[in-house]
Amino acid sequence: MALRDYEQHQLDEIERHLAHENPRLARRFEKFRPLHVVTFAAATVAVLSMLLIGLVTMVVGFGMGALAPILVGAFLTTAVPLALVWFYRCRWR
């Protein structure tokens, strides 16, 4: 929905006033990029799939009695989802 010229002029004036009054806040708003729903859904699917793959790998490792699959599963269950969440959280700020 497009704004009228008068409304756009008012918003531009508010933005200039904000930038003059509080430059730090204005810079934060310039960096702000909302996360699209598709991107958020893809990140959620990625985190959940890594958790599932890690848990299955750990269960198989325990069943085999082998240390390597247990460690790989633990890594996939903890480090990869945390890294994905951290990446998207930093990107969203």
Specify the residue for token string 């310039």. 30
Question: How far apart (Å, rounded) are the C-alpha atoms in residues 36 and 51?
Answer: 23
pLDDT digit string, tens, across residues 60-70: 999 999 999 99
Shared domain check, 67 and 53: yes
Residue-level pLDDT at 24: 83
Shared domain check, 60 and 38: yes
Shared domain check, 44 and 87: yes
> What does the buried/exposed string (b/e) look like for 48-81 if buried means 16 or more CB atoms within 10 Å of the residue's CB?
eebeeebeebbeebeeeeeeebbebbeebbeebb
Q: Please state the domain count of the chain.
A: 2
Shared domain check, 47 and 22: no
Shared domain check, 39 and 28: no
Question: How far apart (Å, rounded) are the C-alpha atoms in residues 22 and 91?
Answer: 23
Q: Which of the residues in the chain have pLDDT under 70?
A: 1, 31-35, 91-93
